[in-house]
Structure 1
Amino acid sequence: MSVSISRAILHILDTSLGVPVLSENLMSLGEDMREYIEKHILKCYNDADLKKTKFINEDGFFYKNIKEYIDKFEFKKFTKEISEFFYKLISENPDIKTCDLLFVQANVYNKDYMIIMKLNYKKGYIHYTKEEEGAKNIIIEQPCSLPSATQKIDEVIFVDLNNFEVFVKEKKCQVYNEPCYYISKYLLGCKEEKSDKEKVKIITDTTDKIIKEYYDDDMIMKSQVKNIIRENVEESLNINLDQISEQVFKDQNIKKTYNEEIRTKGIKEPEVKVNFNYANKIKTKQKIITDEGIEINIPYEMISDTDKVEFITNTNGTISIVLKNIDSIIDK
């Protein structure tokens, strides 16, 4: 079995109530509730936006509490301490969404985790029968609906209880007058990491900008960059920035400009590690849309292969796309 739940507890952090409503008892895990939690755990665990980080302050609030939990195994005490801290954070920063916190200790793919799911409130609607000279059925808004079993959870924490590896999916919010990844910074005391999606976007946006500025927005060069990213990820789950710089930009000054822009945008390391979940999301094809709405999807590795595809600039300024050496065509 991929998920085995040991215990779970739910605390209500609805700031409109004035105080957190902290449960004194563990949740009863019937078949439906166990299925609901297990589905969310697996979806969160396989989420492409889940990023690995690490504790940078061993004297920090969260680190000391998780260490104490492992030593004394006081589940309810740990969850209450974290919930009270979180409630104060939400109360003082209205940009953070109000929520329930669902704490779960579970074994996921043979590893023991403390899992904290932030169940952000969503607007929902329910029917209601009103007595007005007889029954009158109406629809009313339910402002504190929780995510359904099919919806994604926006924010979650996984802490490996054996080696203290931390994985987090979080939102950037305005907290104490600065935009930041508040879960990492204020709750966990972890390094504020960009998600894989953000890192790849920085790389592609920066290369696109340089190509537009210095190479007249050359589409083949853009596809070459995306193909290098795809090949890197398939081979090693790493994106080698030096390889992009060396293979795409021949001019030394342009290489320098590219590398400086990447560093300025927060990527300092020469290689960017990508988790397996996000690797599966990376596109493998370039979509081309003509001014008349014709769409063509071409694998990145074929864009620069003139035996397969050729882009011809005509004397009148239009472009012709020639597809070559086609063995068969399938109607889809």
Structure 2
Amino acid sequence: MDLYIKKAVIHQFSPEDTELQLADKYLNITPKIEEYLRKKIERVYSDEAKTGVFEAENIFLADLSDDLLETSITIAKRWQEEFVISEQQKTNDLIFIQFDKEGVQHFAFLRISLRETLTHLGVEADNPIKLTQNNLPGFGSSPDEGLVVNISSRKYHLIEKRIKYNGAFLNYFSENLLQVQPKISPQKSIKEIEKTAQKIAETFQTDDFQFQSKVKSSIFKNLEESDSLSPEQLANDLFDDNLTARLQFVDRVKESIPEPIRFDEIDSSRQKKKFENQKLSLSNGIELIVPTNIYEDAESVEFIQNDNGTYSILIKNIEDITSK
């Protein structure tokens, strides 16, 4: 991903007095800090991200300007007003970034929860390991919440966490701060598709290990071919001989996921990895891992249902076997 970090500002929220410690200057971006911020932004473009496009008159969008310092203070104060009701608060760094992605200007707002950790401070004989406060998480972790906005197209990617208030869980970030209704993430969409397919199969009494494997194969195939998932295409794959089941599947999926799932600017590798193998646990304790691209190849694997209701699995054309 081609990212160029231009400016960054860090403010801090303290749970002790629920106050903001506002910076008055930009962060000095060293190579290591640039790498850290870039990796955090890249994590927002994940399959957990909700997406959408800001309306031109959106109140949050109106706060974005070329003056990052002024923008960051305005948004940090608005964020504080919404977050302060949370029943579980920690010290948070609020990081605001101007960056270019493939030559297009973007804005990022990252909330990163700081933590206590043991640190080796030196070679003191008494106690070189001490508990230190306000430590940033590692390079590879996702921000607790993250928003990235394409300034030109107004498209956004959002990772958010609900807060607890009066026993209820609130999507305070999208609903109150941004005042948007984003699409659900690809990750949750795929889980919904799997759940819906299973329910339809149960209705028509076709839910067995072969059908569950077929669901995984269909999802993997569609992701490999187009980095997207269409309810109609999945229905044709899963219920090719049952028109009623196909129609019910499409209708139910569209109730919760109105639009096709597209991995637009989102890394689909984690989902592909999840479905690239079929994992089978047999009643005799044997476990099989079969690559999805050969699972349905009759020249490689054959599932045989015996007259007594048991199954036999025939693995064919093996050139070599290695013990691991």
Q: 1:39 & 1:208 partners in 2: Cα distance?
A: 37
2:173 equivalent to 1:152: no
Match of 2:111 in 1: 118
Match of 1:238 in 2: 228
- The change in CA–CA distance for 1:248 and 1:29 in structure 2 (over 3 A counts) is closer
- The change in CA–CA distance for 1:297 and 1:18 in structure 2 (over 3 A counts) is closer
Q: CA deviation at 1:237?
A: 2.1
The one-letter code matched in structure 1 to 2:118 is: Y
Q: How much identity, in percent, do the aligned residues show?
A: 24
Moved more, 7-16 or 311-320: 311-320
Match of 1:40 in 2: 40
- The change in CA–CA distance for 1:294 and 1:303 in structure 2 (over 3 A counts) is same
2:12 equivalent to 1:12: yes
Q: 2:192 & 2:89 partners in 1: Cα distance?
A: 25
Q: CA deviation at 1:11?
A: 0.3
1:251 aligned to which of 222, 231, 242: 242
2:271 equivalent to 1:273: no
Q: 1:208 & 1:276 partners in 2: Cα distance?
A: 29
Contact 1:14 1:100 in 2 (8 A): no
Give the unaligned 5+ runs of structure 1: 130-134
Contact 2:15 2:89 in 1 (8 A): no
Q: CA deviation at 1:64?
A: 1.1
Residues 157-306 of structure 1: pairs in structure 2 closer than 5 A: 157-174=147-164, 178-249=168-239, 250-264=241-255, 266-269=256-259, 271-275=260-264, 277-281=266-270, 282=272, 283-306=275-298
Q: 2:262 & 2:29 partners in 1: Cα distance?
A: 37
> RMSD value over aligned CA atoms?
2.9
Contact 1:5 1:106 in 2 (8 A): yes
Number of residue pairs the alignment of both structures matches: 319
TM-score by length of 2: 0.85
Q: CA deviation at 1:178?
A: 5.0
Contact 2:45 2:157 in 1 (8 A): no
- The change in CA–CA distance for 1:248 and 1:162 in structure 2 (over 3 A counts) is closer
Q: 2:213 & 2:225 partners in 1: Cα distance?
A: 18
Residues 65-84 of structure 1: pairs in structure 2 closer than 5 A: 65-66=63-64, 69=65, 73-84=66-77
Contact 2:44 2:158 in 1 (8 A): no
Q: 1:179 & 1:253 partners in 2: Cα distance?
A: 38
Q: Secondary structure at the match of 2:7?
A: strand
Q: 2:161 & 2:277 partners in 1: Cα distance?
A: 29
Contact 2:306 2:312 in 1 (8 A): yes
Q: CA deviation at 1:297?
A: 1.8
- The change in CA–CA distance for 1:140 and 1:36 in structure 2 (over 3 A counts) is same
Q: 2:257 & 2:134 partners in 1: Cα distance?
A: 38
Q: Deviations over 1:258-314 (max 9, x none)?
A: 3343244x1123x22234644222222211122343222223344333332222233
Contact 2:174 2:182 in 1 (8 A): yes
TM-score by length of 1: 0.83
Moved more, 168-177 or 240-249: 168-177
Q: Secondary structure at the match of 1:137?
A: coil
Match of 1:132 in 2: none
Moved more, 107-116 or 5-14: 107-116
Q: 2:235 & 2:215 partners in 1: Cα distance?
A: 9
Q: CA deviation at 1:143?
A: 5.2
Match of 1:310 in 2: 302
2:96 equivalent to 1:103: yes
Q: Secondary structure at the match of 1:298?
A: strand
Q: Secondary structure at the match of 2:20?
A: coil
Q: CA deviation at 1:138?
A: 7.4
Contact 1:12 1:100 in 2 (8 A): yes
